[in-house]
Amino acid sequence: MLLTSNQIAEMLEMLPEEERDFACEVLYKLVLAWDPDYTKLTISEEKRIEKARQRAAAGQYFKAGEIDWNSLDSMDLN
């Protein structure tokens, strides 16, 4: 059974506080064992970075003056 991080977070919220603290500590130790420096990317992060690299190589990028830094949410970045 493969769970998403959202599903895991929802399940953690259902636990009583003491058990939630224990579960979070276990998850923390698992993450440290997987990546002691927190430097590894998730699969989705790797895909997004690769897509961005491909776009940049194809000349598909925004120049600094084209970005409305006050309204980033309204920009179409796709």
**CA 43 – CA 7 distance, rounded (Å):** 17
Q: Which residue has the higher pLDDT, 39 or 10?
A: 10
Q: What is the pTM of this model?
A: 0.42
Sorting pLDDT into bands at 50, 70 and 90, what band is 16? very high
CA dist list (Å): 12 to 4, 22, 23, 36, 78: 12, 10, 7, 23, 33
**CA 18 – CA 16 distance, rounded (Å):** 6
Residue 22: the pLDDT is 93
Q: Which residue has the higher pLDDT, 63 or 23?
A: 23
**CA 24 – CA 8 distance, rounded (Å):** 10
Is the pLDDT at 8 greater than 90? The verdict is no
